Chains A and B, each alone.
Chain A
Amino acid sequence: MAESGARSEDQALSREDSLRARDRERVRRSRAEGRALRLLWLLAGPGVLVMLGENDGPSMVSYATTGVVYGIGFFIPFILLTFVMAYVVQEMTVRLAVATHRGHAELIFQRFGPFWGYFAMADLVFGNLLTLVTEFIAIQAGGLYFGLSPAVSVLCGVLVVFASLALRRYATWERALLLLALGNLLFIPAAFLAHPHPGAVLRALAFWSPLPGGFDTKFLLLMLADIGATVTPWMIFFQQSAVVDKGLTRVDVPQGRLDTAIGALLAAAAAIATLLAAAPLHAAHAVAQTLATGADFATALKPYIGHGGATLFALGMTEAGMVAAMTISTSSSYALAETLSVGRSLNLDFRAGRWFYGAAIGSTLLAAGIVLIPGAPLLAMTLAVNVIATLLMAPALLFLLLLVNDREIMGGLANGKLANLAGGAIVIGIALAGAVYGFMTVFHP
C-alpha cells in the first residue's frame, strides 16, 4: 500500500505534469491580467494544426484537380462549406478533451470496451500508415520538382519528423509545427499569380455558380473527394489528444473553439487558393488524368503562373506532405499509447514515452521505406487510403456523437438539442458521403 502510494506520488510529479503545469501557469497569469490576445496565443494550436495538417499532399492534389476539371464556380463555396462541417465535428473533440482530459482512443476503449477500442486503434494506425506513405509520395514529388533525388527528399522528411519528436516538449513541438504549417498559405500568392477574375470568384461565392454541367459520376466523385479531403478520422483522434496534452480546461473552451475556427478559415483559404491557382489549366482544357502529383501540377502551371508561382505551388505541396507526416504520425502515437494505457504525451522523455515515440518513429520509417522500394504499389496504396479513410469515417463519427452525448463524462459540456441537430445532420451527411465515395471508388470502372 505504501509502495503504491509512493509510485502514485512519483507519477504525480512526472516531467509531463511539471511541464504542463508550467504552461497552465502562463495561461492563468494571462487570464488574470485580462490579456485576451496573449491568452489566445497560448491556448491556440491544436485546431490550427489539425485543419492545416488535413490540407495534406493528397488533399491539395484533390483541390487542384477540382480547379482543373471545373475551374472557378460551384466548388469554391462548396469547399468553404466542407470546412464549416469540419469545424462542427472538430469542435466536439475540444469539448470532449476538456471535459474528460482523455484522448479519443482511450475513451472508446474505456466506455465501449476492448472490441471497439482495439478496432478504432487498429483502423486508425493502419489507415495512418498508408496515409503517411502518400505524404512521403508528396514530399518525394515536391523534391523531384526541385531536382532532388527521391532518397534525399524522403530522408529530409524523415529527419524533420524525428527532429520534431526530439524536442520532447509539447509546447515547442506545437510552435515549430505551426510555423511550418503556415507554409500551407504559399498557395495564396500562387493563386494571385493565376490572376483569377475577382468578379467570377465573388459570383461563385455568392451564387454557387456556374454549376458544373450535368450531375455525373466524375462530379460526384470530386465532390466526395473534397469532403474526404476535409474531414477524416485521424483529425478527431489528433485534436482531442493534442488538446489534452496541451492541458486545456473547461474555462478554455471559447479559445479552443476560436482556435478551431481560425484553423478552418486558414485551411479553407489555402484550399480555395489551390483551386484558383490550378484554374488556368481548366481554361487551357488540360486533361486532369495526366496530373497525378504536386510536381505534375507545378510543371503544367508554369506557363500560366510563371516560374515563381510554380515554385510556390511545388513548395506548398512539399510542405503539405511534411506537416501531415508530423501530425499523422503523432496521431498514431496517441491512439496506440492510449489504447495500451502507457505514457502518451509529447512532454515525456524517451524512456517514459518509448511506446509513444516508438510508434511515430516506427510508422515514419516504415512509410518512408515503402516509398523508396522500387516498384512498390504506391498507386494502390493511395487508392486504399482514400477508401479506408472514407469508409471508416462513419464509425469514427458515430463514436464521436455517442461520446459527446455521454452526460456521465461530459456533464454540462454534452451536446444540447440544437448541437445534436446540427452536428447529427453533418455527421450523418459526412458519413453517408464517405460511404458512397468508398463504394464508388471500389466499384467505379
Chain B
Amino acid sequence: MRPDGPPPGLEALEPGQLTARRIAPYPRRRLGPGVRVLLWVLRIYVLIAVPLVFYAFIRAAAR
C-alpha cells in the first residue's frame, strides 16, 4: 500500500476512508476543566435518569 494514498483501483477514496486507516483509533481527547465539570454533571444526570427509566417501566407494567 502506498503510504500517501489509496492503492490502485481505490483512487476515488480519500486515504482516511480506507477500512485499514479507519481501524486506527483517534487518541483520547485532553479534557479541559470546563468539559470535566460538564461530564461530571452528566454522570449525576445519568444516575438520576436511569432509575427513573426503570421506575417508569415497572409502574406502567404494573397498571
- Do A and B truly interact? yes
Output the residue of A16, A22, A111 with the most chain B CB within 10 A: A111
Among A227-235, A258-266, A322-330, A382-390, which stretch is in contact with chain B?
A382-390
Residue on B nearest A387 in the bound complex, by CB: B56
Given contacts A12-B19, A395-B45, contact A101 B14 (CB under 8 A): yes
Interface residues of B in 24-63 (CB under 8 A from A): 25-29, 35, 38-39, 42, 45-46, 49, 52-53, 55-61, 63
- A380-B56 Cα distance, complex, nearest whole Å: 8
Chain B residues whose C-beta falls within 8 Å of the C-beta of A11 in the assembled complex:
18-20, 23
Interface residues of A in 12-33 (CB under 8 A from B): 12-14, 16-18, 20-22, 24-25, 27-28
- A21-B15 Cα distance, complex, nearest whole Å: 11
Chain B residues whose C-beta falls within 8 Å of the C-beta of A8 in the assembled complex:
1, 20
Shortest distance in angstroms between A271's beta carbon and chain B's nearest beta carbon? Answer: 25
Among A80-88, A290-298, A436-444, which stretch is in contact with chain B?
A436-444
| CB-based contact A101/B17 at 8 Å | yes
Given contacts A11-B19, A377-B61, A398-B38, contact A28 B56 (CB under 8 A): no
Q: Which of B19, B39, B52 contacts A17 (CB under 8 A)?
A: B19
The reply to whether the CB of A102 lies closer than 8 angstroms to some CB of chain B is yes
Chain A residues whose C-beta falls within 8 Å of the C-beta of B61 in the assembled complex:
377, 380
Shortest distance in angstroms between B26's beta carbon and chain A's nearest beta carbon? Answer: 4
Interface string of A361-389 (1 = CB under 8 A from B): 00000000000000001011101100110
Among A157-165, A300-308, A401-409, which stretch is in contact with chain B?
A401-409
Chain B residues whose C-beta falls within 8 Å of the C-beta of A398 in the assembled complex:
38, 42
The reply to whether the CB of A212 lies closer than 8 angstroms to some CB of chain B is no
- A391-B46 Cα distance, complex, nearest whole Å: 9
Q: Which of A21, A100, A383, A409 contacts B10 (CB under 8 A)?
A: A21
- A394-B59 Cα distance, complex, nearest whole Å: 23
The reply to whether the CB of A9 lies closer than 8 angstroms to some CB of chain B is yes
| CB-based contact A17/B13 at 8 Å | yes
The reply to whether the CB of A247 lies closer than 8 angstroms to some CB of chain B is yes
Given contacts A14-B19, A119-B46, A395-B42, contact A442 B56 (CB under 8 A): yes
- A119-B61 Cα distance, complex, nearest whole Å: 25
| CB-based contact B17/A247 at 8 Å | yes
Chain A residues whose C-beta falls within 8 Å of the C-beta of B10 in the assembled complex:
12-13, 17-18, 21
Shortest distance in angstroms between B47's beta carbon and chain A's nearest beta carbon? Answer: 11
Task: Please report the total number of A residues contacting B with Cβ < 8 Å.
Answer: 55
Chain B residues whose C-beta falls within 8 Å of the C-beta of A395 in the assembled complex:
42, 45-46
Residue on A nearest B58 in the bound complex, by CB: A380
- A402-B17 Cα distance, complex, nearest whole Å: 23
The reply to whether the CB of A341 lies closer than 8 angstroms to some CB of chain B is yes
Chain B residues whose C-beta falls within 8 Å of the C-beta of A12 in the assembled complex:
1, 6-7, 10, 18-20
Output the residue of B7, B9, B17, B28 with the most chain A CB within 10 A: B17
Residue on A nearest B41 in the bound complex, by CB: A398
Shortest distance in angstroms between A90's beta carbon and chain B's nearest beta carbon? Answer: 21
Residue on B nearest A343 in the bound complex, by CB: B19
| CB-based contact B26/A111 at 8 Å | yes
- A402-B35 Cα distance, complex, nearest whole Å: 8
- A395-B41 Cα distance, complex, nearest whole Å: 10
Shortest distance in angstroms between B18's beta carbon and chain A's nearest beta carbon? Answer: 5
Residue on A nearest B8 in the bound complex, by CB: A13
| CB-based contact B63/A247 at 8 Å | no
Chain A residues whose C-beta falls within 8 Å of the C-beta of B59 in the assembled complex:
442
Query: Which residues of A approach B to under 8 Å, CB–CB?
Result: 5, 8-9, 11-14, 16-18, 20-22, 24-25, 27-28, 100-102, 106-107, 109-113, 116, 119, 247, 249, 341, 343, 377, 379-381, 383-384, 387-388, 391-392, 394-395, 398, 402, 406, 408-409, 435, 438-439, 441-442
8 CB-based A-B contacts, threshold 8 Å: A21-B10, A24-B13, A100-B16, A119-B46, A387-B57, A391-B52, A392-B49, A394-B42
